[in-house]
């Protein structure tokens, strides 16, 4: 398995771009579509981000196999059954002269309607159809009261019948709940006779997007074997600490995930002098020492994985590429001859050489995950392989070094 440097780095880049497939996911929820004729079609709706829900509705009707995408204005609206979020086709004022048709979330209906467009824009609409809007993010980032009043100018004018509502919107936390409280205060002050209708689209559970990123941290024990240019084989056992996360891409395929992580280890690999002495018997006589390498190694890992249910456990499989930064202190034996009387013997001297390399490797693994209430316990068995060029410890030439490793690790996934 000998890859050129160009092929290894190209393969690494392909794994790095794999998380972009996250955007192709589907997250299906039960719901229904209301047609322009007032008919209700039951089925499932792809629940995406708040911004994407504003732009389109991807719907599959019960009894059919195909999804259909509706744009704002093509249907009257759509709603999720279990969480109650209700989107309607609505023309929203963008500036003094332009309006845009969007799917606006219907929050409150009454003498003052309240809509939310995307994740940040709150829109108020009075009985005459006049609209005023503001951005939650912009108001939170306002540098002072003067700038805040400018950003809320149109909305404060629309709430001029209720000083309480104006103060509430201006002085309290800038979030969706505060906007609802301000509109309710306005309705209460503007309609004391109780003839102003108010209806809140709510439910027991407010919908949120399914959690995609699950961080984890693990401790492990790694056995590594190195084979060098002179056919010397070194091996060592070292602890490893790693952290990262699993990006679940259930929209694309249930159970599919992208595994990313960083691992650090300080390792020592050595070879017994008795093995070296098979060729250099005199090394025993002069007190030779083991050949060894001390490593400080940082691995950056990324690749696809898959998780499936097996009883009360989840089984995990994964594979990917490793980009490795490695500092190595190489202790080697430099043999030379010395005459002792008439006898010629081999004398081994211990030399040191410190080098820094970066390289590409590959990994594959299998593991289990045991879900608990707030986190999961994970245990993985990984195989690591690389075939790279190192600078030789005693000159400036390049040479091939093979590395094989097995790591057993366990930790917590949130």
Q: What is the extent of the structural domain holding 400?
A: 213-413
> Residue 367: how many CB atoms within 10 A of its CB?
21
Q: Cα-Cα-Cα-Cα dihedral of 300, 301, 302, 308, to 10°? A: -150
Residue 382 is predicted with a pLDDT of 92
Residue 85 is predicted with a pLDDT of 84
| Count of alpha carbons within 13 angstroms of residue 163, beta-carbon side | 0
Contacts 24+ apart (CB under 8 A), 93-96: 93/123, 93/131, 93/133
Judge contact between 58 and 67, C-beta under 8 A: yes
Q: Are residues 113 and 257 in the same domain?
A: no
Q: How many whole angstroms separate alpha carbon 413 and alpha carbon 217?
A: 7
Q: Are residues 241 and 323 in the same domain?
A: yes
Q: Are residues 133 and 191 in the same domain?
A: yes
Q: Are residues 103 and 75 in the same domain?
A: yes
Q: Are residues 314 and 345 in the same domain?
A: yes
Q: Are residues 154 and 64 in the same domain?
A: yes
Residue 342 is predicted with a pLDDT of 47
Q: Are residues 238 and 348 in the same domain?
A: yes
Residue where a domain terminates, one of 148, 169, 200: 200
Residue 23 is predicted with a pLDDT of 44
Residue 208 is predicted with a pLDDT of 52
Residue 320 C-alpha from the chain's centroid: 16
Q: What stretch of H or E contains 224? A: strand 213-227
In a domain, 3, yes or no: no
Judge contact between 131 and 125, C-beta under 8 A: yes
Q: Are residues 166 and 235 in the same domain?
A: no
In a domain, 6, yes or no: no
Residue where a domain terminates, one of 154, 174, 200: 200
List Cβ neighbours of 213 (8 Å cut-off, separation of 6 or more): 245, 246, 247, 248
Q: Are residues 246 and 322 in the same domain?
A: yes
Residue 398 is predicted with a pLDDT of 54
Judge contact between 206 and 16, C-beta under 8 A: no
Tally of domains in the chain? 2
Q: How many whole angstroms separate alpha carbon 91 and alpha carbon 88?
A: 10
Which CATH number belongs to the domain containing residue 395 in this structure?
A: 2.40.160.20
Q: Are residues 163 and 240 in the same domain?
A: no
Residue 131 C-alpha from the chain's centroid: 38
Residue 51 is predicted with a pLDDT of 86
Residue 189 is predicted with a pLDDT of 81
Q: Are residues 245 and 384 in the same domain?
A: yes
In a domain, 168, yes or no: yes
In a domain, 17, yes or no: no
Residue where a domain terminates, one of 150, 172, 200: 200
In a domain, 12, yes or no: no
Residue 283 is predicted with a pLDDT of 44
In a domain, 7, yes or no: no
Judge contact between 183 and 172, C-beta under 8 A: no
Residue 293 C-alpha from the chain's centroid: 35
Q: Look up residue 170 and give its two tokens.
A: 């201006």
In a domain, 226, yes or no: yes
Q: Give the closest residue to 132 by CA, choosing from 124, 141, 140.
A: 124
Q: Give the closest residue to 179 by CA, choosing from 210, 147, 133, 144.
A: 133
- Give just the sign of the alpha carbon dihedral 87, 91, 95, 98: positive
Judge contact between 108 and 180, C-beta under 8 A: yes
In a domain, 9, yes or no: no
Q: Look up residue 210 and give its two tokens.
A: 């399914």
Which pLDDT tens digits describe the chain residue by residue (414 residues)? 445 555 555 555 555 455 444 444 557 788 899 999 989 999 988 887 888 889 999 999 998 888 899 999 999 999 888 657 889 999 998 877 788 999 999 888 878 889 999 888 999 998 888 899 898 888 888 888 888 888 888 888 888 888 888 888 888 778 888 888 888 888 888 776 555 555 556 544 444 555 778 899 999 999 888 776 666 677 788 899 999 998 887 666 777 888 899 999 887 776 654 554 455 444 444 444 445 677 788 889 999 998 888 777 888 899 999 888 888 776 655 544 444 444 444 444 545 556 677 788 889 999 999 888 788 899 999 998 887 766 654 454 556 677 888 999 999 998
Max alpha carbon distance in the chain (Å)? 122
Residue 152 C-alpha from the chain's centroid: 35
Judge contact between 42 and 78, C-beta under 8 A: no
The DSSP letter of residue 209 is: P
Residue 189 C-alpha from the chain's centroid: 47
Q: Are residues 274 and 155 in the same domain?
A: no
Residue 89 is predicted with a pLDDT of 94
Q: How many whole angstroms separate alpha carbon 70 and alpha carbon 76?
A: 10
> Residue 50: how many CB atoms within 10 A of its CB?
17
Residue 255 is predicted with a pLDDT of 79
**Antiparallel, parallel or unpaired: β 131-135 and 256-271:** unpaired
SS3 content of the chain, % helix, strand, coil (to 5): 20, 55, 30
């Amino acid at each position: 398995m000998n890859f050129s440097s160009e092929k290894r780095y190209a393969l690494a880049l392909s794994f790095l771009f794999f998380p972009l497939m996250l955007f192709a996911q589907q997250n299906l929820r039960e719901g229904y579509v209301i047609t322009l004729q007032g008919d209700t079609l039951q089925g499932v709706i792809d629940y995406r981000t708040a911004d994407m829900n504003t732009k389109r509705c991807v719907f599959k009707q019960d009894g059919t196999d195909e999804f259909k995408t509706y744009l704002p204005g093509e249907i009257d609206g759509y709603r999720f059954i279990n969480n109650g979020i209700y989107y309607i086709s609505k023309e929203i004022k963008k500036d003094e002269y332009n309006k845009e048709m969007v799917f606006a979330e219907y929050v409150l209906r009454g003498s003052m309607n309240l809509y939310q467009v995307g994740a940040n824009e709150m829109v108020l609409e009075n009985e005459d159809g006049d609209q005023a809007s503001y951005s939650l993010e912009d108001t939170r980032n306002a540098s002072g009261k003067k700038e805040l009043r400018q950003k809320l100018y149109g909305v404060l004018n629309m709430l001029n019948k209720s000083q309480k509502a104006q103060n509430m919107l201006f002085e309290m936390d800038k979030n969706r709940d505060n906007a609802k409280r301000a509109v309710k205060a306005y309705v209460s002050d503007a309609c004391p006779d109780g003839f102003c209708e108010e209806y809140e689209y709510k439910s027991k559970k407010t919908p949120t997007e399914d959690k995609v990123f699950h961080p984890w941290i693990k401790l492990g024990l790694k056995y590594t074997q190195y084979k060098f240019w002179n056919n010397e084989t070194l091996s060592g056992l070292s602890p490893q600490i790693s952290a990262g996360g699993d990006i679940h891409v259930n929209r694309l395929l249930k159970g599919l995930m992208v595994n990313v992580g960083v691992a650090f280890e300080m390792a020592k690999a050595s070879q017994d002098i008795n093995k070296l002495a098979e060729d250099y018997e005199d090394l025993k006589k002069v007190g030779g020492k083991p050949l060894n390498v001390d490593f400080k190694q940082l691995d950056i890992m990324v690749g696809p994985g898959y998780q499936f249910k097996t009883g009360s456990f989840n089984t995990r499989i994964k594979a990917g590429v490793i980009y490795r930064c490695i500092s190595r202190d190489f202790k080697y034996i430099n043999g030379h001859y010395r005459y002792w009387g008439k006898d010629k013997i081999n004398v081994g001297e211990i030399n040191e050489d410190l080098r820094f390399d970066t390289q590409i490797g590959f990994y594959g693994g299998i593991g289990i995950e045991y879900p608990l209430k707030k986190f999961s316990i994970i245990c993985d068995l990984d195989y690591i392989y690389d075939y790279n060029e190192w600078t030789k410890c005693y000159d400036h030439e390049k040479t091939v070094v093979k590395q094989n490793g097995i790591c057993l690790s366990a930790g917590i996934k949130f």
